[in-house]
Amino acid sequence: MRLTDGIEALEHLRGEKGTPPEKSILMVDLNIPRMNGLEFLAEVRKDPNLHRAIAFIMTTSNEEKDKVAAYGQNIAGYILKNTAGEDFLIVIETLDHFWRVVEMPDITLGPAAAE
């Protein structure tokens, strides 16, 4: 699913506009409108129902400060759009395969419910 900005993505993940997804891999651009990608990730990590979500950054920024800040939000990977280029579909297929193979806890559980 493709969402247009960080606020819309948070609303979707929180179920404010329908049923929230059962599981998600987040592909986040640092340069999204209304709330940049780092702000979006900070909100995801603060949310007790979303904080375990798997997130990847896919962006044009090769700035070290952006990489450090993104990994500080516990991302699973930082992908440069120009590096992925023609291999973008391979990246997406790999993530799809990852999701089907890896066993994960229910990411919708808050911290108290998981104990």
Q: What is the CATH number of the domain that holds 29?
A: 3.40.50.2300
Domain that holds residue 77: 6-105
Q: What does the mean pLDDT of the chain come to? A: 81
Per residue in 21-73, pLDDT (tens digit) is: 666 788 899 988 889 999 999 999 998 888 888 899 989 999 999 999 999 99
Is position 114 within any domain? no
- Residue 59: inside a domain: yes
How many domains are contained in the chain? 1
CA distances from 13 to 7, 69, 98 (A): 10, 22, 20
- pTM of the full structure: 0.77
Residue 114, pLDDT score: 45
Domain assignment present for residue 112? The answer is no
Could you give the dihedral angle defined by the CA atoms of residues 82, 85, 89 and 91, in that order, rounded to the nearest 10 degrees?
-40
Q: Is residue 113 part of a domain?
A: no
30: in domain: yes
The pLDDT score that the predictor gives to residue 105 is 64
Does residue 48 lie within any of the structural domains?
yes
